[in-house]
Amino acid sequence: MRAHDVVILGGGHNGLTAAAYLARAGLDVLLLERDDHLGGAAVSAEAFQGVDARLSRYSYLVSLLPARIVEELGLEHELVRRRFSSYTPDPADPARGLLVDRDADDAALAAAFARVGAEADVPAWRELGADTARLAALFPTLTEPLPTREEARALVGDDRVWRDFVERPLGETVDARFTSDLVRGVVATDGLIGTFTGLDDPALDANRCFLYHVIGGGTGDWDVPVGGMGAVTGELERVARAAGATLLTGTEVLGASPEGAVRYRDASGEHVVAAGTILANVAPAVLDRLLAAGAPTPAPAGAPSVAGGEASAPRAQAPFTEDRVPGVPPVVLERLRHLDAPEGAQVKVNLLLTRLPRLRDPEVAPEQAFAGTFHINELASQLEAAFRAAARGAIPDPLPCEIYCHTLSDPSILSPELAAAGAHTLTVFGLHAADRLGERFGADELRERLQQAVLDSLDSVLAEPIAEVIARDASGRPCIETKTTRDLEAALAMPGGHIFHGPLSWPWAEPGGALATHAERWGVATAHERILLCGSGAVRGGAVSGIGGQNAAMAVLEARG
């Protein structure tokens, strides 16, 4: 049986990051990927038959990838900063909307807010920017051993900011600071992308999501990867291979053991390999299934331990009861009781257009509105109504959506002919499309219903039906691709279609949290000392960041001295 220093389960961006770091350090690294290509959710693909356009099929923007990882690994991808932060038409009157221009002076910003009757919220908007800059002081810690909660609080350096964004439900903070329903929604969506929760949920899931959305790079900017997301993972693959890592595709992992054995199948049959350490670049729920399936042969005795001591079992969470959270609506309380069951709540729609659609707003050009994040039906009140509808198992009507146009920042993903003809891509992210909807509808019907909900939501604020500008593929079919949570689970093995592999964690160690082992110090520990998390399920996982992979690699290298 072949033995390796490290075997990595899964070839997403975090697995590639870990492989690159560890191979560069001289370790024998084997990475196993089920698909026929690497990259996981961070890939580019020609989604439409006979159309030369490479879209970011799943993940699509970059914020949390630290400069430290880029520099240490020598990555050569390029990111483009977007001038316009967002555009939000008023659902009650789409002929007016809030355009937030990063280059606007104070007078222009005040005028933009006045257009939607939100001029009173301008001071609070500016204050929010200053407060999130304080939170961004935490960003450098993401590539260091976990700070304690008190150390993190000291880095933020402002008790009011800490209370408002860490200890108090996000909805309460947003409501206290802003008067406009529209502005509240613009702020609140950063707490809901990929997270199925209510804004006033005492579990603070929205707060954790919000924190990660506003600290990236120390600025909170979400940038466009030139060439699409595949360009980022392509660079990670390049440096991992150059360092000597063995990266195998078409290899389905069938089981693993706490002793360090991995069983997998490829075109030639089943195999078992031994690892000093297993890095799980899969969701924790998937790792549990692999451990239950097992592997028949243990790793050789004496393989280096990463834990540096006894492995610590996961800490049990006290159940949520009416006594613990009095006054919480039953639908929220029921969700709190099932935090261990990952449930995604989004739908992703990719479109290729012959041109950008016209807006109802005469003062904003489509090239401005679609260049940043285009918020549709995302008033704070609409977000809450959508959550309540989805919690009941219904498709929200209207469906809150966010859009951005990759090609306005980077036309390189289109052929020269398509670019010259004025074609553009749109990426639509629909919120609160909960995985539980799959219990009511079959996979195909769910996809069709959610796709129509997205198109209806877009049409509610456009001056023409979006269908009139959707391009056609080589067979005459509309160039529209829809991915539900069920599609994500089938294609990417994300349980419940949860894009973060489960609820996000605070990026620090809570009081009483175990920090005795290398794996615990880096936030990548499991109940087994030879097995570490290296993906989005790690303490600081989620989004395209490479942080989970870097943290796992650092734990391995520390353990080896």
Q: What is the pLDDT of residue 309?
A: 35
Q: What is the three-class DSSP state of 421? A: coil
Question: Between the CA of residue 106 and those of 1, 109, 119, 125, 458, what are the distances in Å?
Answer: 67, 5, 12, 11, 31
Domain 3-42+62-78+227-282+284-316+501-560 CATH superfamily: FAD/NAD(P)-binding domain (3.50.50.60)
- E strands, 328-390, are 345-353, 373-376
Q: What is the pLDDT of residue 342?
A: 86
DSSP 140: G
Distance CA 160, CA 208 (A): 17
Q: Which of 54, 30, 91, 127 is nearest to 458 (CA)?
A: 91
If you search the block for the tokens 């600081």, which residue do you land on? 540
pLDDT tens for each residue of the chain, 561 residues long:
799 999 999 999 999 999 999 999 999 999 999 999 999 999 999 999 999 999 999 999 999 999 999 999 999 999 999 999 999 999 999 999 999 999 999 999 999 999 999 999 999 999 999 999 999 999 999 999 999 999 999 999 999 999 999 999 999 999 999 999 999 999 999 999 999 999 999 999 999 999 999 999 999 999 999 999 999 999 999 999 999 999 999 999 999 999 999 999 999 999 999 999 999 999 999 999 999 999 875 544 444 444 433 333 332 333 334 443 344 444 434 433 344 568 999 999 999 999 999 999 999 999 999 999 999 999 999 999 999 999 999 999 999 999 999 999 999 999 999 999 999 999 999 999 999 999 999 999 999 999 999 999 999 999 999 999 999 999 999 999 999 999 999 999 999 999 999 999 999 999 988 899 999 999 999 999 999 999 999 999 999 999 999 999 999 999 998
Q: Give kind and range of the element (H or E) at residue 456.
A: helix 443-459
Question: Between the CA of residue 39 and those of 67, 80, 350, 474, what are the distances in Å?
Answer: 20, 21, 18, 27
Is domain 83-118+342-499 classified as CATH 3.40.50? Answer: no
Q: What is the three-class DSSP state of 195? A: coil
CB 296 within 8 A of CB 274: no
Residues contacting 320, CB < 8 A, separation 6+: 203, 333, 336, 337
402 - beta bridge partners? 375, 429
Question: Between the CA of residue 87 and those of 174, 189, 265, what are the distances in Å?
Answer: 19, 13, 48
If you search the block for the tokens 């009081």, which residue do you land on? 511
Amino acid identity at 243: A
Q: What is the pLDDT of residue 312?
A: 31
Q: What is the three-class DSSP state of 247? A: strand
- In the chain, CATH 3.50.50.60 covers 3-42+62-78+227-282+284-316+501-560
DSSP 218: G
- In the chain, CATH 3.90.660 covers 83-118+342-499
Q: In Å, how far from its chain's centre is CA 212? A: 10
Q: Which of 291, 378, 387, 476 is nearest to 86 (CA)?
A: 378
Question: Between the CA of residue 339 and those of 306, 334, 336, 348, what are the distances in Å?
Answer: 28, 9, 6, 23
If you search the block for the tokens 């220093």, which residue do you land on? 5
Q: What is the pLDDT of residue 341?
A: 65
Could you count the other beta carbons within 10 Å of the beta carbon of residue 536?
30
Apex CA 88: angle with CA 462 and CA 478, to 5°? 40
Structure tokens that stand for 477 in this block: 């079919």
Long-range contacts of 496-499 (CB under 8 A, 24+ apart): 496/341, 496/342, 496/343, 496/344, 496/435, 497/343, 497/344, 497/346, 497/435, 498/194, 498/283, 498/342, 498/343, 498/344, 498/435, 499/41, 499/58, 499/59, 499/194, 499/344, 499/346, 499/536, 499/542
Assessment of whether the complete model's pTM goes beyond 0.85: yes
Distance CA 133, CA 83 (A): 19
